[in-house]
Amino acid sequence: MPAKTSRCLRPRAWRLAADPYLMPHHQETRILPYTAEEMYAVVADIERYPEFLPWCAQVTVRKRETEGHVELVTAAMRIAFHAFHERYVSLVRLDRHALTIEARHVEGPFQRLDTRWRFVPLDAGSEVHFLIDFAFKSMLLSAVAGVAFGFVAAKMAEAFVQRAHVLYGDARVV
């Protein structure tokens, strides 16, 4: 079963006019031949991001905590994109029971950086929902990032699908 993708890049023009630091967000849904649990495992494996995620040069897990069935991970990530090198820290909420992963910006060059993943089991594979919403503190970085935002977000999402392919093999009916 080939992966099916739908994407939505919403510029939020009315908010951009009010505040130049606000960026569009990227949202997409994919139907994939991998189980929801397999896709959850790929995204939850934060320490492995430098192996497959574009522009991710390093990840350091600073702290792991458990609140009930939810794991909270504080992770520092170093991003390298041409001359741009930045480090930021996120608090990642991993909920294996709900098959959701959320990351929120804690410190770094962003005014806001939120990502959300939701994995829905299907009879054959899964439906994966991905959202990224961010804005830089710097107006210059916001302007530069705004130009490439859709490309970068789509490339990131595709990297997770390709990682699943490497780990679990060719697309198959499950």
Residues 65-115 pLDDT 10s: 999 999 999 999 998 877 778 899 999 999 999 999 999 999 987 778 899
Question: Is 149 a residue whose pLDDT tops 80?
Answer: no
Per-residue 3-state assignment (H helix, E strand, C coil) for 115-167 = EEEEEEEECCEEEEEEEEEEEECCHHHHHHHHHHHHHHHHHHHHHHHHHHHHH
Identify the band that residue 146 occupies on the pLDDT scale cut at 50, 70 and 90. Answer: low
Q: What is the largest CA-CA distance in the chain?
A: 48
Question: Is 13 a residue whose pLDDT tops 80?
Answer: no
Q: Percent of the chain scored above 90 by pLDDT?
A: 57
Of the two residues 24 and 157, the one the predictor is more confident about is: 157
Question: Is 148 a residue whose pLDDT tops 80?
Answer: no
The CA-atom distances, in angstroms, between 96 and each of 34, 37, 119, 168, 170 are 16, 8, 10, 19, 24
Identify the band that residue 147 occupies on the pLDDT scale cut at 50, 70 and 90. Answer: low
